Structure 1
Amino acid sequence: MTTLEFNYAISKTSKSLKPFAFRLTKDLEDANDLLQDTLVKAFMNRDKYTDGTNLKAWLYTIMKNTFITNYQRLLRKNTFIDTTDNLHFINSTDSSVENNAYSTFALEDINNAVETLDESYKQPFMMHFSGFKYHEIAQKLKVPIGTVKNRIHIARKELKEKLQVYAY
């Protein structure tokens, strides 16, 4: 394959590479950069391409490997390595103070929400929360297992609505 034929084949194939680059990077500018890096590598390594093989697959492989290499390089770049002699201060818990205010408020809200449930929903829900299986709850409450599942489902749904402020 001559250089002219190779350039023509790559320019024809490069249009299908852009969506793949976008799927990898999830950003248009990064996708364009990845496409450009891929094409530069393809032109520089033209001698490694074997005539008669799938050019598109070769380009996709170059793009995928370039993306992985760039991603690994980015991870290494963002990794913080402390080279000071005082490494014991990094993980020291002596100077840290734990504040349980948020979890205390959340726990109070959860308990209040559970207490406001109708007794027919609260009892099976709390039993299930305590580790009882559906069939055990059904036997203890003398109701069908389907009723137990339904009541637990309704209790979860009501709690989800009441505690929506904690949804992420």
Structure 2
Amino acid sequence: MTIDSSLRDHMLRATPNLRAFAISLTSNVDRADDLVQETLVRAIANIHRFQPGTNMQAWLFTILRNLFHSEYRKRRREVEDADGKYAATLAVQPAQGAHLDFDDLQKALARLPHDQREALLLVGASGFSYEQAAEICGCAVGTIKSRVNRARTRLAELMRLEDLEEELGPDRLTLSALQAVA
């Protein structure tokens, strides 16, 4: 792209003032130089928007200021971690374990007798009370409680879970978060 030589000269004359302004905004010479460079690149790319006869320096300062604020908003969400120490402290549980556990659960549920699976899913997964589940199944509340208990015990056996409370309850991370809130 070619630009008029008088516009180019105006840009070059404004560069020291742009740099001083950028340094005052960033307090960092390297970041200021990058900001001035990006300002000039944007100005050249958008030179068709410049109104001849208006103040070129004001136009460039506006571009620089807008770039600085855009960069500031972006950087505000970033964490500086040049040596990677912060990133090394972050950990995410592997996702495939949950998928495998869910597959195991589906297979074990399929092996339960229909009445036990139905009672367990109504109470455990759907959140119905024992009374509501009994009404849905057309049986006594005690029968539902018995079916749910037998289903939980059988499910634990099928999935080879030693301690039913520990394995089916919240994990350690969730428990510590719940304790911190309480």
Larger Rg: 2
TM-score interval for Structure 1 and Structure 2 normalised by the shorter chain = 0.3 to 0.5
Query: TM-score scaled by structure 2?
Result: 0.44
